Amino acid sequence: MKELYGKALLDDPACTKSTAFTREERKQYGLRGLLPYDVANISKQKERALENMRRKSSAIEKYIFLNALLDRNQRLFYRTMIDHMDEIMPLVYTPTVGEACKEFAHIFRRPQGLYITPEDRGDIESVLGNWPERDVRVVVVTDGERVLGLGDLGANGMGISIGKTALYVACAGIHPAHCMPVMLDVGTNNQSLREDPLYLGYPYARLQGDAYLSMVDEFVEAVQNQFPNILIQFEDFLSPNAFNFLDRYGDKVCCFNDDIQGTAAVTLAGVYASCRITQKKFSDLTVMFLGTGSAAGGTAELMAAAFHAAGLNMQQARKRLWFIDRKGLVVSTNENIKPRIKPFAHEHLPCSFVDAIADIKPDVLIGATGVPGTFTEPVVRQMAAVNERPVIIALSNPTSHTECTAEEAYRWSDGRVIFASGSPFEPVQYRDKHFAPGQGNNAYIFPGLGLGVTACSARRITQAMFLAAAETLSRHVTDQEIAKGSVYPSLNRVREVSRSIAVAVCQAVRRDGLACEKLPENLDEYIQSLMYDPLY
């Protein structure tokens, strides 16, 4: 505990126990008279917090309450979230975080995270030196240009970095002091934000070109100088920038992009698990993507690697993966195909989305468009026509932007679909069957990956780590969950999943000779010992 006393101790969110300070502690730390009589342990405090949260009438009000709780009492916030993960994660992160980002400047209470603007160029390392913690191991950084499916939200995108760092702590037990949310506030091209008198960000058009790239370069170098062995998570960057940063830094810096690689791994895990329902062999599958952005492109690249690992050569692996864009099937004769999509543009006559499903007969359909309603009734019915148990994964967030709802997917497939989505949906009763659709939440992947990487101080992030994470996650889906049509485990078991993923990542790091730290033989016990457990 920090050397704090009296009111300063009560007001420090990392150290306070509030009403849980014992009689002896109240004497020792000068707290007598500053607290009501009752010594309320963390369980009683948690019940009080839950009661107050549940009184709020909307998700955004609950978000504001929880954010304020984090500001007041860090351990109580995380204890409450961990013990009620399925209820609180949708409030702390998707889908509520989308609304919170849109309203960020209007619901702002206290500063969280670190902001870097173009005015800090040439002095970014000094700005990083203002961060109060010195043992930072994970940084989540965004420039707010492509927040979920909501577009350019400028400095309001800080809500994403704050939310993701909270998930590192709650889902994988990385200590709060080891996590830092960062906003590269390079401006915004969202005119309505710049004209909002309450907007808190850099109120100019976005920095672009060489000036933008040099600022990111400076940040990446500076954050490594300030915090050796740092893991950098890039979040919600525009697709060309997202892929560019992976190409630019991936071989030299311990970094990854969650929208590309985290989404890819959680989607692959869902496809692996779906094979337990369809009884199909993974290496026999054909997969079709709607959308050609970073999430779809990254998922296709990881799936190609998974097919290759399953025994196919890379040409055969890529042939199992097809893309649909606004014009229909992406084929080799198309013009202006994105470079990352080109390997998946095969020889075929141009055709519509529905006709492509009828002809190619994909086993799995994955949507990553950010456009609601793009999995129409004809699309879902055609998938059901070519598959006894069609697999449909609608990844787009938030819920208002998903390609179709769970209820639509079950109804249009006559209850035969295996459905998962990026945002949560309530269970669906269709005819005499009860379905519990799985949520392909990246929180199943990136926190455990981060725990493993920081546990061994890995020098790089590799594709092998994401393949290991996907396979590990798929093994955590129980037979009971499979029976309900879910291809993901309960969120309440996410810390167990994260621990297993961290072990698998450490094994991959050790196998590839990328560890800076010598790892003990009993990795599971070692990882468990590192996990932060918020108690007094």
The CA distance from 303 to 260, in Å, is 12
Quick one: CA torsion of 5, 6, 8, 13, rounded to 10 degrees? 90
- Which is nearest to 381 in space by CA: 358, 400, 402? 358
Asked whether the CA dihedral 155, 63, 9, 133 is positive or negative, the reply is negative
Q: Convert 251-297 into a string of H (helix), E (strand) and C (coil).
A: CCCCEEEHHHHHHHHHHHHHHHHHHHHHCCCHHHCCEEEECCCHHHH
444 is annotated as an active-site residue: no
The CA distance from 493 to 92, in Å, is 17
Specify the DSSP element, H or E, that contains 342. Answer: none
Supply angle C-alpha 492, 498, 504, rounded to 5: 145
Tokens 């002896």 belong to residue:
24
Report the DSSP beta bridge partners of residue 231.
138
Tokens 């993960």 belong to residue:
85
HSE-CB of 341 using CA atoms within 13 angstroms: 27
Tell me whether strands 391-394 and 418-421 are parallel, antiparallel or unpaired: parallel
Q: Give the C-alpha distances (Å, rounded to integers) separating 228 from 123, 220, 225.
A: 18, 12, 6
- List Cβ<8 Å contacts ≥24 apart for 199-203: 199/105, 199/154, 199/155, 199/156, 200/104, 200/105, 200/108, 200/155, 201/105, 201/144, 201/154, 201/155, 201/156, 202/117, 202/118, 202/119, 202/154, 202/155
Contact assessment for residue 521 and residue 472, using Cβ atoms and an 8 Å cutoff: no
* Catalytic site residue from 17, 46, 102, 164: 164
44 is annotated as an active-site residue: no
> Within a 10 A sphere around the Cβ of 184, how many other Cβ atoms?
27
* Catalytic site residue from 63, 78, 93, 488: 93
Contact assessment for residue 495 and residue 82, using Cβ atoms and an 8 Å cutoff: yes
Backbone angles phi, psi at 420, to 5 degrees: -140, 160
The one-letter amino acid code at 286 reads: T
Q: Which two tokens stand for residue 80?
A: 């409450």
Q: Which two tokens stand for residue 441?
A: 């939440």
Report the DSSP beta bridge partners of residue 430.
433
Catalytic sites, residue numbers: 93, 164
